[in-house]
Amino acid sequence: MPANPNSAPTPPGLGPRLVAWRVLEAVGDGAYADLALERELRRQPLAPLDRGLATELAYGAIRQRRQLDGWLDRLGKVPASRQPPRLRWLLHVGLQQLLAMDRVPASAAVGTAVELAKRQRLAPLAPVVNGLLRSAARAIAAGERLQSPSDPIARLAFEQSLPDWLVQELWQQLGPERTIALAEASNQIPSIDLRVNPLRSSRGAVLDAFTAAGLAVAPLADQPQGISLMQRPGPLPQLPGYQEGHWCVQDRAAQLIAPLLDPKPGMRVLDACAAPGGKATHLAELMQNQGELLALDCAAGRLERVRANALRLGLSCVRTEEGDATNLPALEGQFDRVLLDVPCSGLGTLARHADARWGLTPQTIPELVRLQGALLDQGARLLKPGGRLVYATCTVHPAENQQQIAAFLGRHPSWRCEGQALELWPTPGVGGDGFYAVALTNP
Give the contacts of 237 (CB within 8 A, at least 6 positions apart).
243
What mean pLDDT value characterizes the chain? 94
Check residues 443 and 224 and name the one with the higher pLDDT: 224
pLDDT of residue 3: 39
Whether residues 255 and 395 share a domain: the answer is: yes
pLDDT of residue 6: 44
Whether residues 84 and 209 share a domain: the answer is: no
pLDDT in tens, 53-112: 999 999 999 999 999 999 999 999 999 999 999 999 999 999 999 999 989 999 999 999
Whether residues 416 and 295 share a domain: the answer is: yes
- Please check whether residue 146 lies inside any domain of the structure: no
pLDDT band for 231, please (50, 70, 90 cuts). confident
pLDDT in tens, 376-418: 999 999 999 999 999 999 999 999 999 999 999 999 999 999 9
Domains held by the chain: number: 4
pLDDT band for 154, please (50, 70, 90 cuts). very high
Whether residues 332 and 392 share a domain: the answer is: yes
Whether residues 336 and 320 share a domain: the answer is: yes
Whether residues 360 and 423 share a domain: the answer is: yes
Whether residues 272 and 391 share a domain: the answer is: yes
Whether 394 is catalytic is yes
- Please check whether residue 277 lies inside any domain of the structure: yes
Alpha-carbon distance 383 to 385, whole Å?
6
Rounded mean pLDDT of 140-164? 96
Whether residues 66 and 163 share a domain: the answer is: no
CATH number at residue 197: 3.30.70.1170
Check residues 429 and 116 and name the one with the higher pLDDT: 116
pLDDT band for 10, please (50, 70, 90 cuts). low
Catalytic residue among 248, 344, 394, 417: 394
CATH number at residue 329: 3.40.50.150
Rounded mean pLDDT of 8-18? 79
Domain containing 198 equals: 191-249
Whether residues 338 and 308 share a domain: the answer is: yes
Whether residues 195 and 271 share a domain: the answer is: no
pLDDT of residue 11: 65
Whether residues 226 and 104 share a domain: the answer is: no
pTM over the 0.85 mark: yes
Residue 332: how many other CB atoms lie within 10 Å: 13
Whether residues 109 and 156 share a domain: the answer is: no
pLDDT of residue 1: 35
